Structure 1
Amino acid sequence: MKPVKVEKLMINYKTLEKFKHFKEYGNQELSMLEDLENNLVENQSDSPFYGIYIGDSLIARMSLYKVNKKYDYYFEPRQDYLTLWKLEVLPEYQGQGYGKTLVDFAKSYNLPIKTNPRINSHGFWEKMGFKKAQYEMERDLGENPLIWMPEGVKEKPVVK
């Protein structure tokens, strides 16, 4: 795979149209579309989405949110962390390193990362260095979150 650039995606009609090609297109995108229609917001820059383009085609994307340390129940000491979700690579581009490129981009923030993997994606996340969260909160609703920690960060001990 030749080097690719991860770009912050603008929330605009063009981007939302491209999202329709992804299987995980859902409520979040529909909400953004409604905001655009109601407020005529164009090129909103605080988008949580990042993606990889090949030419004019968006071929991979993810959503990345920073969570304030006051809501941290996973790491010791409490700290800001990232929640990564909606990572998806279009089928014809899978297995070519684009998903890894997105995860590496998230890791470059050097903050712990939490994700809730979809069915059949655990192998991918394990290859990326993610492990099952030891500290499970009731609010995770049985989603079995996986986490990645930069060096020097420790996960909270298991609470029974």
Structure 2
Amino acid sequence: MGELKVERLLINYKTLEEFKRFKEYGNQELSMLEDLQSNIVENNSDSPFYGIYYGDTLIARMSLYKVDKKYDKFFDPPHDYLELWKLEVLPHYRGKGYGRKLVDFAKTYALPIKTNPRVNSHGFWEKLGFQKAKYEMERDFGQNPLLWLPNGVLERTNS
């Protein structure tokens, strides 16, 4: 994999053009174009988008949002957590560890991470230590959330 690193992506029209390349290959539910377009204000905005470049080509990306503990329905006691909303790797680069590199980057924040697996990706998330949420709330918009817990964080149960 070499010296490739995860970078915070700028919210600008260059990134918008790079995201269009993913739309050509990807699943519509993973499209981040609309998310990016609604966030385009200026380059120095706090971007929720992260990516890996191979040369000048964006080859892997994710959106990562911090959720305040006042909205937490998953952990006891309540915690701030990260929602890994979308993760995608261009087809030619899949199976080479780039998705793992993005998730490992998210884990460096040492906060719990919640994701809703998409497109037959349960096995990927489970290999990275994510588990089904035990707390049966009104399902997360019809999804089955998976959670990753750093040491010392307890998941809420139905009791």
Whether TM exceeds 0.5 here: the answer is yes
Q: Are residues 33 and 142 of structure 1, via their aligned partners in 2, closer, same or farther at CA, if it must alter by over 3 Å?
A: closer
User: How far apart, in 2, do the equivalents of 1:147 and 1:34 lie?
Assistant: 27
Q: Are residues 31 and 80 of structure 1, via their aligned partners in 2, closer, same or farther at CA, if it must alter by over 3 Å?
A: closer
User: How far apart, in 1, do the equivalents of 2:36 and 2:100 lie?
Assistant: 26
Partner of 1:112 in structure 2? 112
User: How far apart, in 1, do the equivalents of 2:112 and 2:80 lie?
Assistant: 8
**Is 2:34 aligned against 1:30?**
yes
Letter of the 2:153 counterpart: V
Partner of 1:72 in structure 2? 72
Q: Are residues 34 and 133 of structure 1, via their aligned partners in 2, closer, same or farther at CA, if it must alter by over 3 Å?
A: closer
Aligned residues: 155
Partner of 2:141 in structure 1? 141
1:13-28 matched pairs, under 5 angstroms: 13-22=13-22, 23-24=26-27, 28=32
Partner of 1:11 in structure 2? 11
The 8 Å contact of residues 19 and 25 in structure 1, kept in 2 or not, is answered as no
1:70 partner SS: helix
2:105 partner SS: helix
1:25-84: CA deviations, max 9, x gaps?
677523543664xxxx33142111000001110000000000000000101110100000
Partner of 1:121 in structure 2? 121
Gaps of 5+ in 1: none
2:150 partner SS: coil
User: How far apart, in 2, do the equivalents of 1:77 and 1:122 lie?
Assistant: 27
TM-score normalised to structure 1 length: 0.89
Partner of 1:2 in structure 2? 2
**Sequence identity percentage:** 66
**Is 2:61 aligned against 1:61?**
yes
Partner of 2:101 in structure 1? 101
1:3: how far off?
Answer: 3.1
Cα RMSD after superposing both structures: 1.8
User: How far apart, in 1, do the equivalents of 2:154 and 2:55 lie?
Assistant: 41
User: How far apart, in 1, do the equivalents of 2:74 and 2:18 lie?
Assistant: 34
User: How far apart, in 2, do the equivalents of 1:44 and 1:137 lie?
Assistant: 37
